[in-house]
Structure 1
């Protein structure tokens, strides 16, 4: 119905210039950074050393972990991979192993064991009364020392001095499903930053942490900065790394839109499926919504294969497609949303059989503005905002912008015979 009655706006392809630094020789850089803290002082011969690896698609993940493994072996340690992903992977040990395998991390590719365990035990309670849970392997004879590795970046559900990074890999990742659920439950009352920081700090103080290793990525998902940190340096260093990460975010070049069209969402794109810093929606109880950008309607068209049907964050959209809904693994999606105390993110938007119908419906829900005059942006996903499509009403702002370049002239919004919009 909407595909036939709505007058779609004309669109033009645009490039947003985003110049950023990157590390070219990643293995050499990681090796030099680890040497700076003198590994031999932190790990003794014969010690069993767990290296945390989460479920995110971190740039150069395999290369970084390979160097950490090699450096541990050089001082006589016995390294292994410790899956640290909270409730991801369906909350099971096998699911954790398969999630890492999809990221190129396995016993075969890394030549070290992957010791997965879905169970967690309480090791204490924080000053605010928050129970602290950790993976049972960290309490067993299988581990003598722990290396905390994670990317430091902005979180998709709150803003603070410490967001997603080393403290989070401790509080939620190492906590397994039980720890992840506990952190999210207490965060609803105490706030995310306070809860993650407090639980993470407790774990850093009470587990045998040798050191932490963090990466920061630029907009292009390239490793831009790395840092090895001794346990007592983690808190202060992570704050600085987060500030650096925020200077390299990719954002939409407009503060107000009628409709945002997103080709794909997924856990490999953002923990929230779509980066909330890009779309301007958080949808978390007790957390303040971003002031900018203001987007009236969001249409998400598909989910990535790497998400394996987990569509956490689909509830951030107003409209979607039957194609996406048919791919849903409801159990994985619901389990992750409930664990994160964000059932809102698992709600199904209104959906239609074709992308054209879904976009047309969104264009009818923008108030008095005529669909053909709507301020519309079309992106591949929230990680890819360099090349975008914009509607006719935004072209003037493109021509006036210093970091925007019009690549093509305006043409009708393009759909194929199945009603799918042409991809960027």
Structure 2
């Protein structure tokens, strides 16, 4: 028995049962048609003239049907005789290089072929105005040189700060189009000032740059498009806070609080900017601990799409050796230094396998058992999850939850790797 096994042998994993949450699944059935309808209703295309160049933004997050949205938007722009092109709007992501940002868009399926408009990428910025305190506000040079800018952004609660606007259209203008300069400026005073920095810089951009309109996207709890809305530039500061409140109401939640342990099978940059969304885990080095108030958190793997970027792993207590071997510290440190966030760059305790990582959480959580624990695939998919036997009675009392099978031991192979968890057809126990 290895040294960890000797320490952990007195701790036993509980049995887990499959659980289904009922979320509001209403969604936009046809993303392209939704784009065409909202552009018509808002009347924003009338601002474009034949021959105008129009910079459409695309960010560094996986958004439901984003290529379809951008293609419909590009087609609508061309219908006015204008000339659309895409610019990566992702701050210092993609390794803070023009080619890295172009490659990141391609990994999300956003290319000239899928969108029907050229992708033009650069890291250069130009000043478009100054804040009241005299600090320059800069945006992407190619976007600034266009006749019009159309930011496209998903509106949602941010992982590390709270404010009138968080993730969304304003942040796309300020941090996304600001490239490394914009990311550095907004993070310069830390996350406590982030919301106000975005608000102040965003208003400078809207007043001085040629922003025609924005396209705001809101997803439901299952990460499917719920809202596609074109907003005239002058109304973005008024409308985006309202959409943020709607997005908050649609956020998925883990249905138990508190927990002794939360187990996450994988983290990834395409799943959340923090790898694991703190709005789901309740773990944030910036915001502290919130629901579900898990005493311990383990994450077992990193998605291939992340290309080694495990930024946000510092929100966990334990990771596995498998995850550690996949880490590329360069993008983690580039992002962390830009964000002034050393805590987010830290690596948690490394356990040799999945089983020992889960046991380590329970061994150190401070509870004697029976343990209240939840296992999820990732923070973007919690409609189905696995809960420990101690939570079964609580689950049966909640009409929004359906236990889909009896409690069973978690399956592990001879190397301690967690096996496949087949989710059965739901049947009320």
Indicate whether 1:211 and 2:188 are aligned: no
Equivalent residue, structure 2, for 1:395: 392
Higher mean C-alpha displacement, 130-139 vs 49-58: 130-139
Equivalent residue, structure 1, for 2:424: none
Contact persistence 2:56–2:149 (CA under 8 A): yes
For 2:361 and 2:199, locate their aligned partners in 1 and report how far apart those are by CA, in whole Å.
39
SS at match of 2:270: coil
C-alpha displacement of 1:128: 4.0
Flag the 1:291–1:359 CA change in 2: closer, same or farther, 3 A: closer
For 2:282 and 2:409, locate their aligned partners in 1 and report how far apart those are by CA, in whole Å.
27
C-alpha displacement of 1:289: 2.7
For 1:263 and 1:423, locate their aligned partners in 2 and report how far apart those are by CA, in whole Å.
11
Equivalent residue, structure 2, for 1:85: 90
The alignment yields a C-alpha RMSD, in angstroms, of 1.5
Contact persistence 1:218–1:224 (CA under 8 A): yes
For 1:282, which of 281, 284, 289 is the aligned residue?
284
Equivalent residue, structure 2, for 1:336: 335
Equivalent residue, structure 2, for 1:253: 255
Contact persistence 1:218–1:248 (CA under 8 A): yes
SS at match of 1:20: coil
C-alpha displacement of 1:125: 2.4
For 1:386, which of 383, 388, 391 is the aligned residue?
383
Equivalent residue, structure 1, for 2:60: 55
After superposition, where does 1:30-49 map in structure 2 within 5 Å?
30-49=35-54
For 2:189 and 2:141, locate their aligned partners in 1 and report how far apart those are by CA, in whole Å.
21
Q: Deviations over 1:362-392 (max 9, x none)?
A: 111011424xx11110000111111111111
For 1:156, which of 154, 159, 168 is the aligned residue?
159
For 1:338 and 1:101, locate their aligned partners in 2 and report how far apart those are by CA, in whole Å.
25
Flag the 1:129–1:321 CA change in 2: closer, same or farther, 3 A: farther
Flag the 1:48–1:369 CA change in 2: closer, same or farther, 3 A: same
For 2:418 and 2:373, locate their aligned partners in 1 and report how far apart those are by CA, in whole Å.
14
The alignment covers a number of residue pairs equal to 416
C-alpha displacement of 1:161: 2.4
Equivalent residue, structure 2, for 1:354: 353
Long gaps (5+) in structure 1:
none
For 2:374 and 2:136, locate their aligned partners in 1 and report how far apart those are by CA, in whole Å.
44
Long gaps (5+) in structure 2:
422-429
Equivalent residue, structure 1, for 2:414: 417
SS at match of 1:333: helix
For 2:161 and 2:367, locate their aligned partners in 1 and report how far apart those are by CA, in whole Å.
33
Higher mean C-alpha displacement, 86-95 vs 32-41: 32-41
Contact persistence 1:130–1:186 (CA under 8 A): no
Contact persistence 2:68–2:115 (CA under 8 A): no
The two structures have a TM-score, normalised by structure 1, of: 0.95
